[in-house]
């Protein structure tokens, strides 16, 4: 993310609320993950590879929370800088560097968490349909390859230069219109590939269940359960909508609030298939963990 002039000189998300929402979401999603693992151990006396990916997603989400706790003061100092309430002292400059490096690490944690959850769904569905041949097998591999490509490309399109370069470069180059347009485009791309891969993953159980000889009512119920991921898709789209225009940057506190919402919900959903708006980036990760956990109960 570039470091130029922001849409607002006042954060839309209060610092205390930002932290409380982040850690509250982490706590709730952690309960879902622990419940998932406990149910697996009680029912099967073992854990599976998809559980390992959920644990990786959980660790990534906790790492993201720790990072924000470390740089949250630097994040909110940016608003004071923009209004002249804070002078650009050596300590503030150091804080800016910490914030930029922390943002880069956070984005890597974020994508790792989200795509680990996607991978856990893929492995879970693969185990359920282990005897699949022909189209169903080829379709699973197609979705798996697209998902892996989505993870690599999402990490690859992060604005590395505007997060790792010198502050002189960042302040002079990353606030230009071209850099802001690139930032907006990457947000849109990452959202698109996120939604596409989620949709493709949902298609796997639908195809699988379509040929199962069970009552239609039960088929619909199971498909609805596996389709809880649409909640995460909605958060992904909302997360991008907070970036107002192609020529202006989003309010940072608002943007990453929505990032934080997606993870916990996804974690909970993973739980059901296999055994709620700045807060939605952190929220996305928390939501994703919740969703992934909910999905495993049945």
Assigned domain for 180 exists: yes
Assigned domain for 268 exists: yes
Assigned domain for 3 exists: no
Assigned domain for 6 exists: no
Stretches in the chain below the pLDDT threshold 50: 1-7, 247, 265, 267-282
User: Three-state SS for 249?
Assistant: strand
pLDDT at 243: 55
Distance between CA atoms of residues 21 and 253, nearest Å: 12
Assigned domain for 35 exists: yes
Assigned domain for 120 exists: yes
Parent domain of 131: 15-292
Assigned domain for 215 exists: yes
pLDDT at 154: 93
pLDDT at 74: 85
Q: Taking phi first (over 0 means left), then psi (-120 to 50 degrees means alpha), and beta for anything else, what does residue 205 get?
A: alpha
CA distances from 47 to 15, 80, 88, 209 (A): 38, 49, 52, 24
pLDDT at 286: 60
Assigned domain for 10 exists: no
pLDDT at 225: 64
pLDDT digits (tens, 9 = 90+) for 161-205: 888 888 788 878 877 778 778 877 888 888 889 889 988 988 888
pLDDT at 202: 84
pLDDT at 3: 42
The full 3-state SS of 186-248, as one line of letters, equals HHHHHHHHHHHHHHHHHHHHHHHHHCCCCCHHHHHHHHHHHHHHHHHHHHHHHHHHCCCECCE
User: Three-state SS for 157?
Assistant: coil
What's the structural domain count of the chain? 1
CB count in 10 Å sphere of residue 206: 13
CATH number of the domain where residue 277 is located? 1.20.1070
């Amino acid at each position: 993310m570039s470091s130029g002039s922001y849409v607002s000189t006042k954060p839309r998300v209060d610092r205390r609320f930002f932290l409380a929402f982040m850690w509250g979401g982490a706590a709730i999603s952690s309960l879902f993950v622990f419940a998932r693992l406990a149910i697996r151990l009680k029912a099967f006396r073992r854990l599976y590879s998809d559980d390992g990916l959920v644990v990786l997603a959980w660790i990534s989400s906790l790492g993201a929370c720790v990072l924000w706790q470390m740089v949250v003061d630097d994040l909110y100092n940016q608003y004071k800088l923009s209004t002249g309430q804070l002078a650009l002292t050596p300590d503030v400059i150091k804080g800016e560097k910490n914030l930029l490096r922390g943002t880069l690490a956070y984005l890597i944690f974020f994508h790792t968490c989200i795509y680990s959850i996607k991978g856990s769904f893929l492995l879970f569905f693969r185990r359920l349909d282990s005897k699949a041949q022909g189209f169903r097998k080829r379709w699973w591999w197609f979705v798996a390859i697209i998902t892996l490509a989505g993870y690599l490309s999402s990490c690859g399109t992060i604005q590395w230069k505007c997060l790792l370069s010198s502050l002189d470069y960042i302040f002079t180059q990353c606030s230009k219109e071209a850099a802001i347009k690139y930032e907006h485009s990457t947000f849109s791309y990452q959202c698109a590939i996120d939604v596409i891969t989620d949709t493709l993953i949902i298609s796997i159980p639908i195809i699988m269940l379509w040929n199962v000889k069970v009552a239609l009512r039960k088929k619909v119920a199971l498909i609805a359960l596996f389709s809880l991921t649409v909640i995460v898709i909605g958060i992904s789209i909302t997360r991008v909508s907070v970036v107002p225009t192609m020529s202006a940057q989003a309010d940072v506190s608002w943007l990453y609030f929505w990032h934080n919402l997606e993870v916990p919900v996804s974690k909970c959903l993973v739980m059901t298939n296999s055994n709620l708006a700045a807060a939605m980036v952190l929220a996305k990760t928390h939501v994703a963990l919740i969703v992934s956990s909910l999905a495993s109960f049945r």
